[in-house]
């Protein structure tokens, strides 16, 4: 008989559901909890976690859980007038301790549920703490492992001198959401050429129109483009002429004379040609990505990549030969059928190519629950943790420093994605989009515009998610630019 993997979360006497759920998902990833905000435990869900606040002379906090027939509970008290932030943190800490003991799993990032660990370090540094004080404070509060704490501190020390900038310096993101095929692990908004090829000419035309709109808005509000990033999808999935059309729109309408960097994600080897690289170089891009993900041919086949490891290496060497002096390569730890030995071999071969930066992602599972607390899961998590640990050791020893770090939901082992770069080759756009302290204008399907005011207030304006919507409802989308103009006026006057 198949085990019943349904889970319920019961909330009584509090409204801390988001953080409670985030804490539970550290140990039970990828499931869709039944949320019981009325405080009643459902009779038909076998696995149940209950969190409760009981007021009185002192505040009683209580958590209990039944998981696969195993039961446990924890309790503590706080002063009745304790701040809500303390109540929320203490409740989550109780739940963390209970689930850690019940599952036998100690998360490397501890109680930390946010996707930006480095920001917490930088906040401590900005408050006047030394790096040692910051690390000790955060480790004590969040139970972070020594290795992950050191990674966060090392990353913060690279970022800290880079981060200060004028509020009127902005980034520009341009989305080309097409790929030759969809990789099996992909969760991005991207569309295979087979299904979307007919949409590309119309999409490119509308994208250029949106770039032109931004070209009028940027000087009107006294803004200055600091970085340009063309991503996807795989931007080189479109033709060289279509890529030129997009980049000519940038050159025509956007003043990039003060930009510190201009990135194009060249991406997959089966889309990279000499003609496309020539367009990218001619049109002024200073940085590209050549992303093999792995150099194991059997793994490439399993994940649906239609190129070989040799083609990925050849694409990198071609770009170097054509004069590109800032090249990133992406790798993924934990790809299906990959092994620690295979990942180690990939990392060694990529390091031998000497790219200027190497980004190591941890595989994000769409349904991590399938691996939860099984023998296979334990082996997979342990293996991926070894892959991440190898990268964190080998890359700094080879001269690549961690410069940006973020975490996603449902990553194997609750791990992280880290960008490593040679000194001076850090990608400013990547740092600032993670730090959320810079305004970024997003053009194209699925792009998000984010306006950050000096007081820290953030306004987000989203474009349509799918290419056919973007094309068919373009004029409707342009109406949102009025909202953007109103927010940029606040930024301009601040």
340 near 289, Cβ under 8 Å? Answer: no
Asked if domains 7-103 and 169-443 share a fold, the reply is no
Residue-wise pLDDT tens digits, 168-207 = 999 999 999 998 766 555 555 455 556 678 899 999 999 9
Q: Residue 5, Cα to own-chain centre: how many angstroms?
A: 28
Nearest to residue 13, comparing CAs of 45, 32, 36, 30?
36
- Cα torsion angle, 127, 132, 133, 134, sign: positive
Q: Which helix (H) or strand (E) holds 245?
A: helix 240-253
Rounded mean pLDDT, 264-272: 93
pLDDT for 34: 95
Cα dist from 475 to 17, 203, 261, 292, 467, whole Å: 39, 13, 31, 38, 14
- CATH topology for 169-443? pyruvate-formate lyase- activating enzyme (3.80.30)
Average pLDDT over residues 23-49: 91
Q: Is the pLDDT of residue 368 over 50?
A: no
DSSP 3-state of 378: helix
Instruction: Specify the pLDDT at position 14.
Output: 96
pLDDT, one tens digit per residue, over 299-352 is 999 888 888 999 999 999 999 999 999 999 999 999 989 999 999 999 999 999
d(CA 346, CA 419): 16
Both tokens of 449, joined, read: 């515009």
Q: Which residues are within 8 A (CB) of 368 and not within 5 positions of it... i.e. 6 or more apart?
A: 29, 30, 410, 412
φ, ψ dihedrals at 439, nearest 5°: -70, 135
Angle (CA) 234-116-299 rounded to 5° is 40
> How high is the pLDDT of residue 298?
94
With 90 as the cut, is the pLDDT of residue 456 above it? no
Question: Per-residue pLDDT for 457 more than 70?
Answer: yes
Residue closest to 477 by CA, chosen among 487, 488, 465, 486: 465
Question: Which structure tokens are listed for 240?
Answer: 């060289």
Q: Is the pLDDT of residue 374 over 70?
A: no
Q: Report the alpha-carbon distance of residue 79 to residue 184 in Å, rounded.
A: 51
- The model's pTM: 0.91
* Domain range list for the chain: 7-103, 117-153, 169-443
Q: With a cut of 80, say whether residue 379 has pLDDT above it.
A: no
Question: Where are the extended beta strands (E) located within 326-464?
Answer: 327-333, 357-362, 401-406, 417-421, 440-443, 448-452, 458-462
Whether pLDDT at 211 is above 80: yes
Query: 24: helix, coil or strand?
Result: helix
Architecture of the domain defined by 7-103? 2-Layer Sandwich (3.30)
């Amino acid at each position: 008989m198949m085990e019943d993997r349904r889970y319920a979360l019961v909330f009584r006497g509090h409204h801390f559901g988001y953080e409670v759920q985030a804490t539970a998902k550290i140990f039970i990833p990828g499931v869709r909890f039944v949320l019981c905000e009325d405080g009643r435990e459902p009779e038909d869900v076998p696995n149940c976690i209950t969190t409760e606040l009981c007021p009185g002379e002192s505040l009683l906090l209580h958590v209990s859980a039944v998981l696969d027939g195993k039961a446990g509970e924890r309790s503590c008290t706080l002063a009745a007038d304790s701040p809500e932030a303390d109540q929320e943190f203490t409740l989550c800490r109780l739940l963390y301790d209970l689930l850690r003991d019940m599952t036998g799993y100690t998360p490397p990032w501890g109680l930390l549920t946010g996707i930006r660990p480095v920001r917490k370090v930088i906040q401590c540094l900005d408050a006047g703490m030394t790096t040692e004080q910051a690390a000790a404070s955060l480790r004590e509060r969040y139970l972070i492992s020594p290795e992950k704490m050191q990674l966060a501190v090392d990353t913060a020390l690279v970022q800290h001198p880079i981060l200060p900038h004028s509020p009127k310096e902005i980034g520009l993101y341009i989305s080309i959401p097409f790929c030759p095929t969809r990789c099996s692990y992909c969760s991005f908004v991207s569309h295979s050429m087979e299904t979307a090829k007919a949409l590309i000419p119309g999409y490119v035309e509308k994208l250029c129109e949106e770039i032109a709109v931004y070209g009028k808005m940027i000087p009107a509000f006294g803004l200055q483009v600091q970085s340009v990033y063309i991503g996807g999808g795989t931007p080189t999935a479109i033709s060289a002429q279509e890529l030129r059309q997009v980049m000519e729109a940038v050159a025509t309408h956007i003043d990039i004379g003060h930009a510190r960097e201009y990135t194009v994600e060249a991406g997959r080897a089966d889309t990279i040609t000499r003609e496309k690289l020539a367009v990218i170089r001619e049109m002024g891009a200073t940085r590209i990505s050549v992303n093999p993900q792995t150099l194991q041919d059997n793994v490439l086949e399993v994940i649906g990549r239609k190129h070989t490891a040799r083609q990925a290496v050849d694409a990198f060497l071609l770009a170097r030969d054509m004069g590109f002096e800032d090249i990133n390569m992406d790798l993924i730890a934990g790809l299906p059928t990959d092994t620690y030995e295979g990942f180690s071999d990939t990392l060694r071969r990529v390091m031998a190519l000497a790219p200027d930066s190497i980004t190591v992602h941890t595989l994000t599972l769409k349904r991590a629950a399938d691996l939860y607390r099984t023998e296979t899961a334990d082996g997979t998590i342990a293996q991926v943790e070894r892959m991440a640990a190898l990268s964190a050791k080998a890359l700094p020893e080879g001269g690549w420093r961690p410069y940006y770090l973020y975490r996603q939901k449902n990553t194997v082992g609750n791990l992280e994605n880290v960008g490593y770069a040679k000194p001076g080759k850090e990608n400013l756009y990547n740092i600032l989009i993670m730090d959320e302290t810079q305004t970024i204008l997003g053009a194209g399907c699925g792009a998000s515009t984010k306006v950050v005011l000096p007081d820290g207030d953030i306004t987000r304006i989203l474009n349509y998610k799918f290419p056919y919507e973007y094309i068919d409802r373009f004029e409707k989308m342009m109406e949102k630019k009025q909202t953007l103009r109103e927010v940029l006026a606040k930024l301009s006057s601040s």
